Amino acid sequence: MSNIIEMIRSDRALEKYSNRNRLLSEAAPYVGHPKQSASEPNKIFLRINPLSSNGALLEFRTEDVVFAENVETVANKKGETFQIFKLWVRIGSVGIRLEQFVV
Distance set, CA 88 to CA 27, 39, 53, 59, 95 (Å): 5, 23, 25, 13, 12
Banded pLDDT at 89 (limits 50, 70, 90): very high
Q: pLDDT per residue over 46-61, tens digit each?
A: 998 888 877 789 999 9
Residue 73's DSSP bridge partners are: 83
Q: From CA 11, how far away is CA 4, in angstroms rounded?
A: 19
Distance CA 37, CA 18 (A): 29
What pLDDT is recorded for position 61? Answer: 93
Q: Which of helix, strand or coil describes residue 27?
A: strand
pTM: predicted TM-score of the whole model, two decimal places: 0.77
